[in-house]
Amino acid sequence: MLIFFFLCGFVLLCISSNMWIRFPGVDQSPSIYTIQVVNEFPHDPRAFTQGLLYAENDTLFESTGLYGRSSVRRVALETGKVEAINQMEGSYFGEGLTLLGEKLFQVTWLQKTGFIYDQNNLNKLEEFTHQMKDGWGLATDGKVLFGSDGSSMLYQIDPQTLKVIRKDIVRYKGREVRNLNELEFIKGEVWANVWQVWPCIPYAYLQAFGSSLVYVTA
């Protein structure tokens, strides 16, 4: 398995379908973004990646899923070596992950449970219950957490109280865009991975907020 990097910022490259998304309050035609793979790096093929983010010093933080195999990891970008790992209890399926300050926030699938870890040693600092219907994706702008639960809802969460402070339904031509999955915050915009985009190709990246829209194909 290889981790790919885009010129427009770091995201996990997924094959995408032809999809234009319109969001509330945005009337203009979509801006079209092209991508270019600039490098490839080794990655543990056994890791069922659910959340991935780039930190300083060529370090990745990764949340892996599957029952009995879920974990939070610190990984060396250049070599793919797992430098530190916190293995989760077998009853949890790890999902979205984001870093705010020195704390890693993680949510889990099919449970309203989340965890906070120390980024330096991956020690678990706190367990919390979130208010989303499920735990899929997480991202942050450095102030709030953005969350997804597999529906069309994009949540904003206070990182101190872990309460939802805003909810927005993502729509395209008046219809809700469901299956919002992994999230990224890139240059003032929230991007979401749409799981199982019709007709048969499973992934597309789209912008959820901002003055332009995104159409990505690879």
Pick out the chain residues at pLDDT < 50: 1-28, 198-218
Domain count, the chain: 1
Domain that holds residue 136: 2-215
- For the chain, how big is the Rg over CA atoms in Å? 16
- Overall size of the chain counted in residues: 218
pLDDT digits (tens, 9 = 90+) for 84-137: 999 999 999 999 999 999 999 999 999 899 999 999 999 999 999 999 899 899
- pLDDT for the residue numbered 30: 52
- CA separation, residue 70 to residues 44, 55, 102, 166 (Å): 13, 21, 21, 29
For residue 30, the 8-state DSSP code is P
Write the CATH number for 28.
2.120.10.30
**Distance between CA atoms of residues 111 and 114, nearest Å:** 8
First-to-final CA distance of the chain: 17
Q: What is the pTM of this model?
A: 0.78
Which among 14, 23, 2, 5 has a CA at the least distance from the CA of 208? 23
Between the CA of residue 35 and those of 9, 54, 95, 111, 212, what are the distances in Å? 10, 18, 26, 35, 16
pLDDT on residue 215: 47
The pLDDT value recorded for residue 57 is 83
pLDDT for residue 34: 66
